[in-house]
Structure 1
């Protein structure tokens, strides 16, 4: 997570036939790095993602946790020892483990047990959120409202969409990382975009301004960090209306807009979900999301 800015992007680069050349002779250009992440996009993705290095320096523990590629890289004991060095993140994990989501309210006092309860993927997702979205007042006002609604909607929709509930919840937690990165990159400009209440309108405005939308940046970051394919697919395939994986996140954004945007005109849930969901499926999901979102925010933000 540290070093030259291109270190952030290097794992995504295609294999170079001249790999045997010295590093200084084979160093890719910034344009090549950006093209490897999001082909056909002229926006300087490299510059935006290089902010991760700056943020990592502020949250070294979170950066180390994010850098772990697979659950087997760290058992609960090792992960809890690493996590303990970041008091804020430790508090969030403990609070989440003791929340109603896991049915163990007040019974989780050990950090190692808390890591076991919430799972490696959730801890890693929380570290990613902490890394790219510091609580310094710079994020859009509704950032956490959107994030928690997306996470709960993804979790509720997962069984009908053929996805594990925990993976889906983590995908929802991570989906807004690109928005956080764009906020750091262009605070004043992105504030105008963030003022648009509906997700589709924000993505369209992001594409107009940057040539890429925030969820595509999230996809690039998740692929770089080596998140499991099942968690990355809904983000990467959001714009593919034929993708069932993308349908999880499309439907979650729709549920979030219905729950949070006054006067929102609902879009057909069947079209967004590849006909895996019906209109009759929406009300109970809306109820769950509306009921639990505030508690999840409290658990995540301490």
Structure 2
């Protein structure tokens, strides 16, 4: 399967496409003239998407003083950027349907993504950086695995089998069996679906946060990924914490007390978000 970027991008045409409103949100992410009323009407046409977004808006994650009953109210209460990211998160968890791939569990996949998203959001709040961007990047950090599973379900089963018999990471297994890994697959999807630059960069470098130009968000997601694995929030069998960059860990500048608080907050937020997004 050793393909160049052009071949990979062509292969992505076989993937499911996100709801039209999500494509519009992603492509207009930097526009200041977004029409809130038009967005609300478009989201309202997708009942499942609306329901998940409103359940998130009413969760303890945001703790509104009064119930949020419409997308318009969500935008008013949460702001356009936060609502946009909640809509993207809600849509992405339903965009890829279950695939026949032995050993791959879609629900566990999303539970891990949600765990990383929850931790990333908590870290972002402690560091006073954009919490919604961190949440979305955390949720989507391993989206390349779904790309590979969707395009090659039988061969990805071989990836899972390889890892169970070798002492290696998921990346090692993917490269050994497929000749490509989920980082490259995720980067290709991010290009095709017009993810914002910060998220594309985080997806591309979340396993290599010390590489030149990786960026602060990639380092944050890298650490959140390690924390989510260490806390075993997804409930995976034979959980393994991936290699951790001490430079990325130290760059966050949190002391022991702050880290304990991060762990507690992540665990508290995870189950509620997981219940909503994987329902």
Conserved 8 A contact 2:93-2:110 = no
| Contact persistence 2:145–2:182 (CA under 8 A) | yes
Deviates more, 1:83-92 or 1:109-118: 109-118
Hey, what does 1:134 align to over in structure 2? 97
Q: CA shift at 1:84, angstroms?
A: 1.4
- 1:199-238 equivalences in 2 (<5 Å): 201-238=169-206
Report deviation, 1:97.
0.6
| In 1: Cα distance, 2:141 partner to 2:278 partner | 17
Root-mean-square deviation (Å): 3.2
TM-score normalised per structure 1: 0.71
C-alpha deviation, 1:60, in angstroms: 4.5
Contact 2:22–2:91 (Cα < 8 Å) also in 1: yes
Tell me by how many angstroms 1:59 deviates.
Answer: 4.3
| Partner deviation per Cα, 1:205-232 (whole Å, 9 max, x = no partner) | 1222223321332223223333332333
Shift of 1:109: 0.7
Give, in angstroms, the shift of residue 277 of structure 1.
4.3
CA distance in 2, matches of 1:211, 1:90: 39
Query: Structure 2, unaligned stretches of length 5 or more?
Result: none
Query: Structure 2 vs 1, CA of residues 221 and 297 (structure 1 numbering), >3 Å: closer, same or farther?
Result: same
Distance of 2:192 and 2:272 partners within structure 1: 31
The alpha carbon displacement at 1:106 in A equals 6.1
Q: 2 CA distance for matches of 1:59 and 1:231?
A: 19
Measured after TM superposition, the shift of residue 136 of structure 1 is 7.2
Using CA pairs below 8 Å that are at least 6 residues apart, which structure has the higher relative contact order? 2
What stretches of structure 1 of length at least 5 have no aligned partner? 1-30, 37-43
Bigger Cα Rg: 1
TM-score (norm 2): 0.77
- The match for 1:301 is 278
Number of paired residues? 257
CA contact (8 A) 2:223 2:248 kept: yes
* Cα distance between partner residues in 1 of 2:253 and 2:74: 34
SS of the equivalent of 1:212 reads coil
